[in-house]
Amino acid sequence: MTGEWIFNLYVFVLATFVGYQVISRVPPLLHTPLMSGTNAISGISLVASLLAAGSHHRASQILGFVAVTCATINVVGGFLITDRMLRMFRKPAGSSTPPPAPSRGGAQLDGAKS
């Protein structure tokens, strides 16, 4: 093993750990906007994988095709999940009352006792 390979492995493991810690601490209220931002980033990686697939090298074309497939699945799935989550907050058809707000616990703002 070369020193560069060990360094790259170290960065990968550290990024995996930090990413898990950050994502696991996202409050549910921020999950939908975070998903939308992640979908935009996945769209950028889809463009980059299209560029790789259009290369003149056979290995780059194969890896680019795999990357295009994975990025497309990620983008489409992310938008479907985001749409499904946003539908939970829409008013039912024919209803004039807003949907119930998510429970946050803690003190109530209207002063009512539970």
> Buried b vs exposed e over 52-67: b needs ≥16 C-beta within 10 Å?
bbeeeeeeeeeebeeb
Task: Report pLDDT digits (tens) over 28-86.
Answer: 777 767 777 777 788 888 888 888 888 888 988 898 899 899 888 988 888 888 788 77
- Coil, helix or strand for 88? coil
CB 78 within 8 A of CB 41: no
Domain boundaries, the chain: 29-89
As a whole number, mean pLDDT of residues 95-105 equals 62
Q: What is the DSSP letter of 93?
A: T
Which residues have CB under 8 Å from 82's CB, separation 6+? 32, 35, 36, 39
Which tokens belong to 41?
A: 């980033």
Neighbouring C-alpha atoms within 13 Å toward the C-beta of 17:
6
pTM: 0.53
